[in-house]
Structure 1
C-alpha cells in the first residue's frame, strides 16, 4: 500500500482525498479505459511487450566491495546518433553500480546464437534417443533358429512332418518382428526429420523482420526465458571497445 508524502508546506489534498484518488487509479490498473472513463476490458498478457530482447534478463556482473556481484538488471540506453542500443547498469542512485555497459546488438546476437545452439543440441539429443530397436537380438535369434531348422531339414536330419510343423511359426514370428523393426525405424526417421525442421524453422524466423514472418520480440524472449535464468554481464575494462563474448555468462536452466 502506498502512503502520501507529507511535506512542510500547505497541502493541496487531504489524506482522505488522496486515498480516494489513489483507489480509483489502482482499480483501473491492467484495464483499458473508454472515452467515458469507464473500464472496458483487461489488457492482453502481451499488452506491454518489451522493446528490447534482453531487458530484465541481463544482469550486472561487477563485483561490489564486499565481494558480491552487483546483479542489478540492466537497462537500455539509446542515443539519437547511435545506430544501436546499449545495455547499461543503473546508476548508484537508482540501486545499481553504473559500472557495466555493452553494445546491445552484439549482445543480442551472441545470446540469440547461444539459445539457438541449445535448441539444436536438444533437438539432436531428442532425435538420437532410442535410435536402436530394443528387440533386435530377439529377431536375430528367431532368424537363426529358422535357418538352423532349414539346414537340418535339407540335410535329412528331420522329417517333413516336423519341419512343416515348426517352420510356419518361426516364419510368422520373423515376419512380425521385421514389420515391428521397420515401423520403429520409420518413427525414428520421422522424429529426426521433425526435430531438424522445427529448429531450422525457428532459426530462419529468428532473424527475419517481423513483417516478413519473423518472430516478434515477445516470442524470442519466451524461447530465451525457457532456456535461461539470466545472462550475467561482466565489466569489459576501461576503454575496452572490442566485444568479448567470454564476459557474458549464460545461466542455463536445468533440463
Structure 2
C-alpha cells in the first residue's frame, strides 16, 4: 500500500494538486486523509466514531467520497500493519519487539536535512536510516519528495554517530567542569518581593476607595505581568540549577567509558545515549557535500546546542 501511496502522491505533485491548506501532498498526509472518517461521512471523537442516543452512527451533513464499508476496509489495512515490520515488497514481516519504541539507531529523528530548496528555504526534513545490501554501515538519508523531503542528501551513519557522540561527550565534560562555578542564587528575589508589595499596596488603596477604577486597572496589569515574568524566570533558574548540580556530580569519565562499550559488557543502551544527546542538542543539521570524492567532512554537520 505504501508503494501505491507513493505513486499517487507523485502523480498529484506532478499535476500540481494541493491539499486543502495549499501544501504539496505527501504519503503521510494522504494516509491521514484516507484514515479520516469524514471520507465516508462520519465523525470521530477521541478515537471513537460518534453515535447518537440509539447507538447509531451520526452522519455528517456533507457528501461522502467513499462508502463506510470502503473506509472500514482501508482503515483495517492500515491498522493491520501496526506493530509489525513491513518489507520493501510491502509484506508484513516479524512483529515489533516489546521495546520497539526505543530507536535502533543513535540519531534517528535528530538529524535534519540542510539542503537549500529552490525557494531558498532549507529542507529541514528529519533524516531516516537506510541500509544497502552488502554494506556493513548504515546511512542517514532525507525522505523522498513524495514523503515530504528532498531525497537528495545522504551521509554515512557510523561516522556521523561517532562525531556527534564525541561532540556530546565533550559538551558533558565542559558542563561538568564549569557547573560548580555557576551562579548559586537567582539574585532577583528582592525585585520580585518589591513588585508583589507594590501590587498589594495598589490593591489595598483601590479596595479602600482611595484610587479610581481607571487608575487601578491602568497600573495593575503591568505589575501582574512583571510578577509573572519574574516568577517564570525564578522557576527556570531553579530547574537549570538542578541540571547544573547533576552535571557537577556526573562521572563523565564513566559515561564516556560506558558509551563505547557493548551493552552486554555494561555499555549504555541506545535509549540512554539518546537521552544524553537530547539533553545537549536540539538537532544536528546535515549540509550537502560538494561534488567530488565522498570523504567525511565534519564541518558539514552543524549541532544546534541547547542553552541552560
1:154-175, Cα deviation, whole Å (9 max, x unpaired):
xxxxxxxxxxxxxxxxxxxxxx
CA distance change for structure 1 residues 97 and 30 in 2, over 3 Å: closer, same or farther?
Answer: closer
Name the residue aligned to 1:248: 301
| Distance in 2 between residues matched to 1:107 and 1:2, nearest whole Å | 36
| 1:217, distance to aligned residue in structure 2 (A) | 0.7
Determine if the alignment matches structure 1 residue 57 to structure 2 residue 122.
no
**Equivalent residues in 2 for 1:138-153, closer than 5 Å:** none
| Distance in 2 between residues matched to 1:91 and 1:48, nearest whole Å | 23
Q: Secondary structure at the match of 1:73?
A: coil
Determine if the alignment matches structure 1 residue 92 to structure 2 residue 118.
no
CA contact (8 A) 2:175 2:248 kept: no
| 1:3, distance to aligned residue in structure 2 (A) | 4.1
Determine if the alignment matches structure 1 residue 202 to structure 2 residue 246.
no
Q: Secondary structure at the match of 1:251?
A: strand
| 1:128, distance to aligned residue in structure 2 (A) | 3.7
CA contact (8 A) 2:113 2:124 kept: yes
| 1:47, distance to aligned residue in structure 2 (A) | 3.9
Name the residue aligned to 2:68: 16
| Distance in 1 between residues matched to 2:102 and 2:292, nearest whole Å | 34
| Distance in 1 between residues matched to 2:183 and 2:120, nearest whole Å | 47
**Equivalent residues in 2 for 1:60-139, closer than 5 Å:** 60-129=113-182
Q: Which runs of 5+ in 2 are unaligned?
A: 1-31, 41-65, 84-96, 185-243
1:75-129, Cα deviation, whole Å (9 max, x unpaired):
1111121121111111222221122111110000000011111111110011344
Q: Which runs of 5+ in 1 are unaligned?
A: 7-13, 32-42, 132-190
Name the residue aligned to 1:219: 272
CA contact (8 A) 2:110 2:126 kept: yes
| Distance in 1 between residues matched to 2:130 and 2:256, nearest whole Å | 27
Determine if the alignment matches structure 1 residue 238 to structure 2 residue 291.
yes
Q: What TM-score does the superposition give when structure 1 sets the normalisation length?
A: 0.59
Q: What is the aligned-residue RMSD (CA, Å)?
A: 3.4
Name the residue aligned to 2:187: none
| 1:15, distance to aligned residue in structure 2 (A) | 3.3
CA distance change for structure 1 residues 63 and 3 in 2, over 3 Å: closer, same or farther?
Answer: closer
Q: What TM-score does the superposition give when structure 2 sets the normalisation length?
A: 0.50
| Distance in 2 between residues matched to 1:232 and 1:21, nearest whole Å | 40
| Distance in 1 between residues matched to 2:174 and 2:101, nearest whole Å | 32
Q: Secondary structure at the match of 2:112?
A: strand
| Distance in 2 between residues matched to 1:60 and 1:110, nearest whole Å | 17
CA contact (8 A) 2:34 2:74 kept: no
CA contact (8 A) 2:102 2:270 kept: yes
| 1:237, distance to aligned residue in structure 2 (A) | 1.5
Segments of 4+ moved more than 3 angstroms: 1-6, 14-31, 127-131, 194-197
CA distance change for structure 1 residues 99 and 26 in 2, over 3 Å: closer, same or farther?
Answer: closer
Q: Secondary structure at the match of 2:140?
A: strand
